Amino acid sequence: MNARRLYPLFYLYPALLIYLALFIFPTLFSFVYSFTDWNAYRDTIRFTGLDNFVKITKNADLMLSIGNTVLFAFVTSIGKNVLGLLLAVALCSRIGFKRLFRTVFFLPTVLSFIVVGVLFTALLHPDGFLNQFLGFIGLGGLRQEWLVDRSIVMYTVSFVDVWKGTGFHMIIFMAGLLAIPRDYGEAAQIDGANPFQEFFRIKLPLMMQAVSVNVVLSLIAGFKVFEQVFVLTNGGPGYASSVLNSIAFQMFGDGRWGLGTAMNLILFLLITAISFLMLAYFKRKEVDI
């Protein structure tokens, strides 16, 4: 069907121009800069090829930050989506106070990262609320240095992010659930399906679009993590909880701009690859009503 265009094409040009100038061109330039030794200490820039990337692979701390980023992305994605789905199912069933719970669980999403960070820094302090509470209920042996112990700091940061982000994904799952007509569920029950079968065989496939959106969004947000790490630990202690973005931030502060841009290029490639893979995977799984 050939719909008559309501507005001429050149209405697009101003916005397109701004988009090109402020987004596309700088991004392309940054890809070029990541192959140079651009830094704040000299006025000249030299093309150095893959030097920056070799440096990154040889540096244990930088590789740790890449590993932390991937770990964070997958842990928070799984956490947010599984919990979000459970909450969505619970809030779409026949329980009371649905509106209240919906608000309560969505509230953390609305808070700013800084607020959440300051709050949890106090809660997770060695003498803070969490450790005191554990001691109070007799689980004193579980007390940890949540934000300082190298082996668990990344999981602690992930936990705070899951706490904050689950509500958002819950809402999307609820939208997906509520769009499924009742008839399917009722027909399944008549045919003798138990709730699990009803959920996994009927509801979930029909919700695949919502799942796809949620998983890809949470993964991308997970790879781009910065504020959570910056406010809670600043990448510390040392480099234990550093992530790609926090390292790139440090490098820019240090004046080593070429290296920082290279880190960002790695991030871009990671996100693009994972997003395409995930989107393709879910596209195949989508079932239309």
Q: List contacts with other proteins (CB under 8 A).
A: 8, 10-11, 14, 37, 39-42, 55, 59, 61, 125-127, 145, 147-148, 150, 235-240, 252-256
Sign of CA dihedral 97, 102, 108, 111: negative
Is residue 265 within 8 A of residue 257, CB to CB? The reply is no
Sign of CA dihedral 225, 230, 231, 234: positive
44 is written with which tokens?
Answer: 């000249």
Between CA 149 and CA 161 the distance in angstroms is: 18
Task: Please report where in the chains the tokens 């953390």 appear, as a residue.
Answer: 108
Between CA 221 and CA 229 the distance in angstroms is: 13
Please list, residue by residue across 95-131, b when 16 or more beta carbons sit within 10 angstroms of its beta carbon and e when fewer do: eeeeeeebeebeebeeeebeebbeebbebbbeeeebb
Task: Please report where in the chains the tokens 């609820």 appear, as a residue.
Answer: 174
Q: Which residues pair with 36 in a beta bridge?
A: 47
Task: Please report where in the chains the tokens 């402020």 appear, as a residue.
Answer: 22
- Which segments of the chain does DSSP mark as H helices, in order? 13-19, 25-33, 51-58, 60-91, 98-110, 113-123, 129-136, 153-178, 182-190, 195-197, 204-206, 208-223, 227-232, 244-254, 257-285
Is residue 242 within 8 A of residue 68, CB to CB? The reply is yes
